[in-house]
Amino acid sequence: MRIRPAAVAGYFYPGEASELAREVDLLLSQPKPALPAPPRGLIVPHAGYLYSGAIAARAYLTLPEQGFRRVILMGPAHTKAVRGIALPDWTHYQTPLGRVALDTDALSELDGRYETRIDNLAHAREHALEVQLPFIQVRLSGCLLLPMVVGAIRSETLADCLSALMQPDDLLIVSTDMSHFLTESEAEQRDQHTIARILSLSDDLLGEEACGAYPLNGALCWAKRTGIRPHLVARGNSAQVSGDHNRVVGYAAFALC
């Protein structure tokens, strides 16, 4: 086994297993949002659980208890510049809750197609993917994982990749935050505009609108092709926790139905 150890446990989320399990259970104790149909995908934030965990949890609550075999998890590159799609060649990801098995066959078949390449360094400390894993372990226990760190890429190319990958029992998860380091009033205004663009399936979002703009644009392009619609399930910002109204990060969660 080639295991990618937890990199941000104890920082973005609790580092001790029992504490993390309690935290995730607490975040998932909210009422389940109503949707017109079961989701095929989620768009979720990736800040520390203190800031955006409850917002992400609202999206995970929309998932059925059974029905998915694999999670295709996409997020932006925070720690290493990436062009196209970076794939890992590990067999498992580790969190305090245990290991998540990767779909190594699919990763091998995908390598070199749709601007993909193996790049473990892009994954080694990437929190945007890691913070989703405890939710996946609790809500989607036993699912295989296909993780992708997505840098500069045309939305059509990523949509082609998703069209080739997505099977009826796959779930797509896109990890992204909204605006960064504006005043709270500016953040609210920009995020409202970004949310409206996501709901209308605009696939040309910019980095100042969503830090995961590249994976998000590809997912929205794919959704537009397949007749899938986003539904907003929660939104918020860091000022609601930190009290700092001058350097605010925005968060929103959607279900793709």
Structure tokens that stand for 31 in this block: 């009422």
Q: What is the pTM of this model?
A: 0.97
pLDDT of residue 153: 98
User: Whose CA is closest to 14, among 29, 26, 31?
Assistant: 26
pLDDT of residue 61: 97
pLDDT of residue 65: 78
pLDDT of residue 24: 98
The answer to whether 226 and 232 have CB atoms below 8 angstroms apart is: no
User: Whose CA is closest to 8, among 88, 145, 107, 123?
Assistant: 123
The answer to whether 217 and 158 have CB atoms below 8 angstroms apart is: yes
3-state DSSP assignment of residue 31: coil
pLDDT of residue 172: 98
Distance CA 55, CA 212 (A): 16
Structure tokens that stand for 248 in this block: 């605010």
Q: Which amino acid is at 218?
A: G
Report residues of the chain scoring pLDDT below 70.
none
Residue 82 phi/psi, 5-degree rounding, is -130, 135
3-state DSSP assignment of residue 251: strand
User: Whose CA is closest to 102, among 4, 182, 227?
Assistant: 4
pLDDT of residue 225: 97
